[in-house]
Structure 1
Amino acid sequence: MISELDSFGWESMGHAYGPAGDVPGWLTGMASADPGVRDQAFSHFYSAAHHQGDVYPCTAASLPFLFEISDSPAAPDRGSVIELLLSIGRESLDMDPEGVYFTPDGTESRAHVDALAVIRGRAEAFVRWVKDIDPLVRRPAIEGLGLFPGDTARAVEVLRGLLPGSGTVERLLVVRTVATVALRDGCGRTRCGCWLAECAGR
């Protein structure tokens, strides 16, 4: 999909500082082998396409490419890309799902709804990533599994299965994420609560 970057109408979209024609270069830069190029790409994207947490149409349009980078074993900094996915997703969750927002040029936007649709439609990726050999990939993926579960019951089972053999940091992340699921999903609250109480009693 990265090869299709130029086929998107980026110039017709905008970010905090104008037309989004520079977004493809930042997305490509995030997968660069050069740490300096990657740092600059992330910095520019956060500054313009995700400015102060804003979610623009170009932000939502970037998501399939961010998922592709995160899925590529050859990408050198997948954990940071998943962190960016989480940031976009968290901000979208916090916005009014029925609300209409406006881009800097005054265009009406529901990009937050589009962003959540993309992330939720690819929730299975988080299941793969929580089992990755790289802890910097696993840790943000654990949080993502709690925020955007495609199937809540399955997400909780996957999370619970991670607990044995995990280190302290990841064990804490698993427990916190199951609590997040309980708060966000009333249907799974009792199941999650019982398991958390069981963990506390161990």
Structure 2
Amino acid sequence: MINDIGSVAWASVGHAYGPADDVPQWLRGMTSPDSEVRDKAFSSFYSAAHHQGDVYSCTVASLPFLFAMADDSSTPDRSRVVALLVSIGREAAERHGPGVICFDINGEQSTAHEDTAAIMRERGEAFVVYACNADAQLRSGAIPGLGLFLDDAERAVSVLQKQLEAEGGITERLLVVRTMADLALRLPAARKPARAWFDALADGVEVDADIRLAAIVQRARCAPESLDDTTLPTAIELLRQITPAPRHDNSGGEAGSRGPSGVYVHGRARP
């Protein structure tokens, strides 16, 4: 599909600095075998077509090509493309809503956010595929999309629950827990099953302390009524469990990491 870039009238759509006739070279650059070319292409796209996180008419026009790259296993920086898609979609979802009116750089009313949000929801299932990829970086970039773009609450909850079981890395597992809260905050139909899942994780004696603590935090975020007299003591105990014990030096004092002043954060001060 990258060969069809020329079929778009890029000069008629804009980015933060004017007509977007330079966007095709950035999109092509993202697929270059040269890493420096790719880095420059991504940087240029973020600077103009996704300037300060915003979405423009050219950003909408770029989505089919970005999805084509993300779907292609031969794309060199596939994980960066997926992360870019999630960033674009998140911005559109946050800015698009009832009563929200957006304008383009010419001061004219724009549907870029609305159009982007619709496309991302239409392609929601693509993020399920990305999140199940063998590449951990690709999964990390895709997981937030499960909470942002899947509109079937039951489906989204099920996918996230299975994803937590499938993930081996703590970073990805914590990201799944946070994404479940994002989903619950976005879709009312997901709140009850998400709350039950958080409860099960928070109370699970065989669940890793990191995940139990994350479940408590995210449950409080999307269900503040869950806070009770046991929440703080439980959280403190879990923090103790996941905090590494201080190392001891040969002189009997505690050794730790150096602070900005050159002294050790833990244990005896050193010159």
Pick the TM interval, shorter chain: over 0.9
Task: Provide the rounded CA distance (Å) in 2 between the counterparts of 1:100 and 1:157.
Answer: 34
Question: In angstroms, what is the RMSD of aligned CA positions?
Answer: 1.2
Deviations 1:55-80 (A, max 9, x none): 11101111111111011110111111
Post-superposition offset of 1:96: 3.9
Matched, 1:16 2:19: no
**Higher normalized contact order (CA 8 Å, seq sep 6+, divided by chain length):** 1
Which residue of the partner structure matches residue 139 of structure 1?
140
Query: What TM-score do the two structures reach when normalised by structure 2?
Result: 0.72
Whole-angstrom distance in 2 between the partners of 1:124 and 1:169 = 22
Matched-pair contact (CA < 8 Å) for 1:60–1:114: yes
Output the CA distance in 2 between the equivalents of 1:151 and 1:47. Answer: 33
**Secondary structure of the residue that 1:146 maps to in structure 2?**
helix
Larger radius of gyration: 2
Per-residue deviation at 1:164?
2.1
Structure 2 distance, partners of 1:48, 1:108, is: 19
The equivalent residue for 2:163 is 162
- In 2, the alpha carbon distance for the partners of 1:146 and 1:165 equals 17
Cα distance between partner residues in 2 of 1:144 and 1:169: 16
Which residue is 2:217 aligned to? Answer: none
Moved over 3 A (4+): none
Q: Normalized against structure 1, the TM-score is what?
A: 0.96
Tell me if the contact between 1:15 and 1:49 (Cα under 8 Å) persists in the aligned partners: yes
1:34 aligns to 2:71 (yes or no): no
Tell me the equivalent position of 2:197: 195
Q: Which residue of 1 aligns with 2:6?
A: 6
1:1-202 map, 5 Å: 1-97=1-97, 98-166=99-167, 167-202=169-204
Q: Percent identity?
A: 52
Contact 2:157 2:193 in 1 (8 A): no
Contact 1:145–1:155 (8 Å) recurs in 2: yes
CA deviations on 1:32-53 (whole Å, 9 max, x unpaired) are 1111011100111011111112
> Which structure is higher in helix share?
1
Q: Deviation of residue 165 (structure 1)?
A: 4.2
Provide structure 1 residue ranges, at least 5 long, that are not aligned to the other structure: none
Q: Work out whether residues 124 and 150 of structure 1, in 8 Å CA contact, stay in contact via their aligned partners in 2.
A: no
CA distance in 2, matches of 1:96, 1:76: 32
Kept after mapping to 2: 8 A contact 1:146/1:155 = yes
Rounded Cα–Cα distance in structure 1 between residues aligned with 2:194 and 2:70:
29
CA contact (8 A) 1:57 1:111 kept: yes
The one-letter amino acid paired with 2:11 is E
Deviates more, 1:36-45 or 1:148-157: 148-157
